Amino acid sequence: MSQDNQGSVFEAAIKNFLAPIWDLLKDDSVTEVMVNRHDEIWIEKGGKVYKSETSFSDEDSVRAAANNIAQSVGRRIDDQNPRLDARLPNGYRIHAVIPPCARKGTTIAIRKFSTTQFTFEDYIRFGTMTLDVARFLDICMKLGKNILVSGGTGSGKTTLLSVLCNRIPKGQRIIVIEDSSELQINYEHVVFFETRMANELGEGEVSIQDLLKSSLRLRPDRIIVGEVRGGEALELVQAMNTGHKGCLGTVHANSPQDAIVRLEALAQGADSQLSEKALQHQIGSAIDIVVQISRYPDGSRRIGSVAEVLGVNDKGVYQVTDIYSLDRLVKKPDGSYSGVIKPVGVEPTFMKEIVDHQFPFPREKFKIKSAA
């Protein structure tokens, strides 16, 4: 059977399983559908969450949907395995939890990932960043700086990572490692790896850490990790410190400082003989830039800061300095917020590289602009 025919068969099957919410899933403006119980369904639209009038007939119908979806992707969800985490063939990411763990009834969240490839121009138009911030990040990509994208769930980390990856100069070999394929990367020489969960016997699992170890033997110029969430943090940091410039990844954190601390905590979970001081030194040397992105009350996603990591001091505190920071947000009458990310008056330590490469980005770009 051809891939197109397989996709058609799957879509017909999933439409049957999820008939009550199918129209929501096909609505391009809906980015996530959340079933809290059979008669309580919420959706995310435009960055905001709304309650839907749609419902399943009863708990059994939601449970049957979860069971059928699990079977369709070669998984199972039952009393011994009350959680399901899977990527559907059409790109949707689904997570489900059944009773008694889910006290209100079978709970399902289905996240849709846009197939639209955004650019810096789009981000500038959306107000996510300014032209100067876009140019600076573009320079960081060209110079091969190791970048960590930090933010909360639904903040737009993966989308921003895709935008950055599409600014990698030509002629390099990229290896992308993800739990589930989400990144939209348009590049000539790229290899995509995806993890695999264990089967019903607990065998055959392939983790991000496993794939990262393999990638180091496949001559990568840059390694991209969709989300750093475990012991693979140590392998990524060591790759960054052994000649693999321009590596990228995302991490769940609320600030650039928190992102580095979280990376350390994740790396400590790896099977390593490194002392805490040695690990901190490696992380401080590996990460160059942290880009913080957040979702705000009006549903907008904005870059809150672009910071440089300057290492770790004698007290074990990471030195993270903002280069750009979001100005205070002001709520407007229509409920939206206004605010602009601006330079804080600090030059990056690699300013000489910017000058030597003759990038048209003068020192004045980092100075605080006086109010007119």
Same domain, 225 and 92: no
Same domain, 289 and 162: yes
Determine the pLDDT at residue 64: 93
Residue 163 belongs to some domain of the structure = yes
Determine the pLDDT at residue 11: 66
Same domain, 305 and 233: yes
The enclosing domain of 303 has a CATH number of: 3.40.50.300
Boundary of a domain, candidates 88, 111, 134: 111
DSSP class per residue in 202-241: S---B-HHHHHHHHTTS--SEEEES---STHHHHHHHHHT
Residue 285 belongs to some domain of the structure = yes
Residue 169 belongs to some domain of the structure = yes
- What's CA 107's distance to the chain center, in Å? 23
Determine the pLDDT at residue 1: 44
Tell me how far apart the alpha carbons of residues 256 and 289 are, in angstroms, rounded to a whole number.
9
Tell me how far apart the alpha carbons of residues 1 and 51 are, in angstroms, rounded to a whole number.
39
Residue 324 belongs to some domain of the structure = yes
Determine the pLDDT at residue 299: 82
Same domain, 57 and 147: no
Instruction: Count other Cβ atoms within 10 Å, centred on residue 355.
Output: 12
Same domain, 107 and 85: yes
Same domain, 164 and 66: no
Same domain, 58 and 125: no
Same domain, 88 and 158: no
Boundary of a domain, candidates 62, 90, 111: 111
Amino acid (one-letter) located at 35 = V
Residue 35 belongs to some domain of the structure = yes
- Residue ranges making up the domain that contains 102: 3-111
Amino acid (one-letter) located at 76 = R
Residue 312 belongs to some domain of the structure = yes
Same domain, 259 and 282: yes
Determine the pLDDT at residue 114: 66
Same domain, 100 and 129: no
Determine the pLDDT at residue 134: 97
Tokens of 166: 């599409």
Over the chain (372 residues), the average pLDDT of each successive run of 10 is: 50 78 90 94 89 94 92 83 82 89 95 80 93 97 97 90 94 90 87 82 83 92 92 91 91 96 91 85 96 90 96 93 91 85 96 96 90 53
Cα angle 220-226-232, degrees, rounded to a multiple of 5: 70
The enclosing domain of 90 has a CATH number of: 3.30.450.90
Same domain, 62 and 138: no
For 95, residues 6+ apart whose C-beta sits below 8 A from its C-beta are: 83, 84, 85, 86, 108, 109
Burial of 304 (0-12, 13-18, 19+ CB in 10 A): buried
Tell me how far apart the alpha carbons of residues 256 and 267 are, in angstroms, rounded to a whole number.
17
22: region left, alpha or beta (phi > 0 left; psi from -120 to 50 alpha)? alpha
Residue 372 belongs to some domain of the structure = no
Report the domain count for the chain: 2
Same domain, 61 and 124: no
Cα angle 302-305-310, degrees, rounded to a multiple of 5: 155
Determine the pLDDT at residue 2: 46
Residue 371 belongs to some domain of the structure = no
Boundary of a domain, candidates 111, 143, 166: 111
